[in-house]
């Protein structure tokens, strides 16, 4: 058991030494893996960023019901009850026209325009929040048929479309990640195969003097795993650099959508998970490579 642990330690040290002894070759290997991993990693970060720009409450469909300019407070009270009875409606909030104007005045760039207005051009309105997945279009058409309702606007149709696009993006990213994961296995398979070619004599002699396949395989497994880890860390660095470059552009976009212009650094959890996964995939590539080599020379 102690000998086994010692060999694990020695194998890891040997793998690190081998990487350090050939910095250029190791860097290029890591770059191949890093660029491949940076694509899905970057896509995940981009998707997460877009998701943060979209107000989370908006995933529940929302619609605005604008009343006639001449509608009275009594009309509004009657409509509140009628709107609340519509199917799928969870919450009804009344926005009086004075409040709407005040809110508008607080919006950057509109304050002066609001101040210049002689009278309030805005109608009273209701904001309805529907249950998630409720048929917003159906509720909207029924609300539009009520007396004293001037216009119904489904506010969150664009959000729902965006959510669908994001879901598609997430699925596509998973497909991309799976494909590039296979690529990573192939890349380490090849590097380890080259290593095996240069160390053919060592493998042969080790076998002849009583080394088990597991013992022979171990240093190569560590080499594959170390390469995967280096590739993943490089991928993290690539994505972080790209995020840093893109953040100012994002800030402009964020203001447009009322989101927070925060930097879009890849979350440490994601880098950690990617690193662990890359280590496992590198190990798999090395495992296949050594197994093929040993089988062919049995």
Partner 1 sequence: MSAISFKEVGKRYPGGHEALRGVTLDVEPGDMVFLTGHSGAGKSTLLKLIPAVERPTQGAVLVNGQNVGRMRAPAIPYLRRNLGLVFQDQKLLHDRNAFENVVLPLAAAGVAPRDAAKRVRAALDKVGLLDRERSNPATLSGGEQQRLCIARAIVNRPSILLADEPTANIDADLAAEIMAMFRDFNGVGVTVIIATHDLGLAARFASRTIRLDHGRVAR
Nearer to partner 1, 115 or 208 (CB): 208
- Other Cβ atoms less than 10 A from the Cβ of 75: the count is 17
291 near partner 1 (CB under 8 A): no
CA gap 170, 153 in Å, rounded: 29
What is the contact mask toward partner 1 in residues 165 to 184, using x (rule: CB under 8 A)?
--------------------
* CB-nearer residue toward partner 1: 164 or 212: 212
φ, ψ at 62 (rounded to 5°) = -130, 145
- Chain centroid to Cα 5, Å, comes to 38
Q: Which of residues 33-92 bind partner 1 (CB under 8 A)?
A: none
Please report where in the chains the tokens 């880098």 appear, as a residue: 271
The answer to whether residue 2 forms part of the interface with partner 1 (CB under 8 A) is yes
| Rg of the chain taking only CA atoms, in angstroms | 30
Write the interaction track for partner 1 spanning residues 5-24; mark x where CB under 8 A is met and - where it is not. Answer: -xx-----------------
- Cβ at position 297, least distance to partner 1 in Å: 11
Query: Measured from the CB atom, is 129 or 218 closer to partner 1?
Result: 218
Interface residue with partner 1, options 208, 256, 268, 269 (CB under 8 A): 208
Would you say 285 and 188 are in contact if contact means Cβ atoms under 8 Å apart? yes
Which CB contacts under 8 angstroms, 24+ apart, belong to 266-272?
Answer: 266/41, 266/44, 266/45, 266/236, 266/239, 266/240, 267/48, 270/41, 270/44, 270/45, 271/41, 271/232, 271/233, 271/236
Nearer to partner 1, 210 or 268 (CB): 210
> CB-wise, 7 or 52, nearer to partner 1?
7
CB of 30 to partner 1, least distance (A): 24
Consecutive H or E run containing 169: helix 157-198
CA atoms of 158 and 58, how far apart (whole Å): 10
Is 210 near partner 1 (CB under 8 A)? Answer: yes
Check residue 209 for interaction with partner 1 (CB under 8 A).
Answer: yes
> Residue 44 or residue 287: which is nearer to partner 1 going by CB?
287
Q: Work out which of 52, 213, 280, 292 binds partner 1, going by CB under 8 A.
A: 213
Which residues here bind partner 1, judged by CB under 8 A? Answer: 2-4, 6-7, 201-202, 204-213, 215, 298
């Amino acid at each position: 058991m102690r000998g086994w642990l010692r060999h694990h330690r020695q194998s890891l040290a040997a793998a690190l030494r081998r990487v350090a002894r050939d910095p250029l070759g190791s860097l290029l290997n890591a770059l191949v893996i890093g660029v491949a991993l940076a694509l899905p990693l970057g896509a995940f970060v981009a998707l997460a960023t877009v998701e943060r720009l979209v107000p989370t409450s908006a995933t529940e469909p929302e619609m605005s019901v604008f009343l006639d300019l001449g509608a009275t407070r009594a009309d509004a009270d009657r409509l509140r009850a009628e709107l609340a009875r519509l199917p799928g409606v969870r919450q009804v909030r009344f926005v009086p026209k004075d409040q709407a104007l005040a809110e508008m005045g607080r919006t950057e760039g509109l304050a002066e325009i609001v101040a210049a207005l002689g009278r309030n051009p805005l109608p009273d309105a209701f904001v309805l929040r529907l249950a998630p997945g409720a048929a917003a279009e159906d509720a909207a058409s029924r609300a539009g048929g009520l007396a004293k309702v001037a216009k119904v606007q489904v506010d969150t149709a664009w959000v729902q479309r965006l959510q669908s696009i994001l879901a598609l993006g997430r699925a596509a990213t998973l497909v991309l990640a799976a494909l590039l994961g296979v690529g990573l296995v192939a890349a380490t398979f090849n590097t380890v195969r080259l290593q095996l070619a240069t160390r053919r004599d060592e493998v042969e002699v080790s076998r002849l003097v009583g080394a088990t396949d597991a013992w022979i395989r171990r240093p190569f497994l560590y080499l594959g795993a170390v390469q995967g880890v280096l590739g993943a860390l490089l991928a993290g660095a690539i994505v972080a650099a790209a995020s840093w470059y893109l953040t100012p552009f994002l800030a402009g976009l964020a203001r447009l959508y009322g989101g927070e212009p925060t930097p879009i650094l890849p979350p440490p959890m994601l880098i950690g998970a990617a690193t662990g996964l890359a280590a496992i995939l590198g190990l798999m590539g090395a495992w296949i490579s050594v197994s093929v080599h040993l089988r062919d020379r049995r």
